[in-house]
Amino acid sequence: MVKKIIFTASLLLASLTTQAALVEYNGYSREESSTVVTGKGLEWLKWDVTKGMSIESALVAYSADGWTLANNAQMAGLFNDFQFGKNDWSAVESESQFSVEVSVNSATNVATSFFQIFGQMSTISDNGHVCSYFITKECNYPGYVYRGTAALFGNDADGDFQYNQAFVMNGLLYAGEDENFAYRVIADLDADNHVSYWGFEDVGIALVRAVQPMPVSLPGSLSILGLGFIGLMYQRRHRKLASEQN
């Protein structure tokens, strides 16, 4: 009887302590049900949580929980961890930076991992504008889509009330004038620029904070109580058997 109780309780505890699914990339992770990304000693709020908000409204909404606007060094560190085709992203506020990485015949790349962790802000269909930005002739390929995400960040060290914008895009674009195609990851840290990119209108706010202490979860508490309950039952059973034998 005791063994049956222990077995049943073990199955219950195992179901209670099952870890939530994670999305991960190069030291950054987020539980699928959470809006908080953890990586390299910081927590980031998913960019799409603050989609359409101003810096001021985002800070009003979230600063009480310790969130602050990501500075240039933090954003450069994030981009250097994901790389997006280069590993020398700079923290200089006045410097606009740009990178294109080609992933031939593969829609799965660093940008898709970034979207899974930080959120995908926008999707647009090819209307000729995106394609013509990279080549000298117009093109229109219905069905091909471009995905992007963007967030404002920065220190505004020069006091012009302009902040920088981080942007990541993934799409099927021309690999050359011979009309071969390749998936390209476009990454950008743009100084003092709030304009939309290639039809992507939505922008979030990059908020960060120090990693918060891990709260005691309900499953963890139930596990401790459950193990204590099993121990008490086993002890009572053992004492009863001992008294019967005496």
pLDDT of residue 157: 76
The alpha carbon dihedral of 26, 109, 73, 150 has a sign of negative
pLDDT in tens, 43-86: 999 999 999 899 999 999 999 999 999 999 999 999 999 999 99
Q: pTM for this one?
A: 0.73
Q: What is the mean pLDDT of residues 105-123?
A: 84
Q: Where are the domains of the chain?
A: 2-16+221-245, 72-203
**Which one of 6-20, 143-157, 167-181, 219-233 scores highest in mean pLDDT?**
143-157
CB distance 101 to 84 below 8 Å: yes
Query: Can you read off the two tokens belonging to residue 124?
Result: 């647009």
The rounded distance, in Å, linking the Cα atoms of 50 and 38 is 17
Q: Is the CB of residue 89 less than 8 Å from the CB of residue 76?
A: yes
Q: Is the CB of residue 112 less than 8 Å from the CB of residue 194?
A: no
Instruction: Please name the helix (run of DSSP H) or strand (run of DSSP E) that holds residue 225, with its range, or none.
Output: helix 218-245
pLDDT of residue 156: 82
Is the per-residue pLDDT at 210 higher than 50?
yes
Residue 192: pLDDT band (50, 70, 90) is confident
pLDDT for res 155: 86
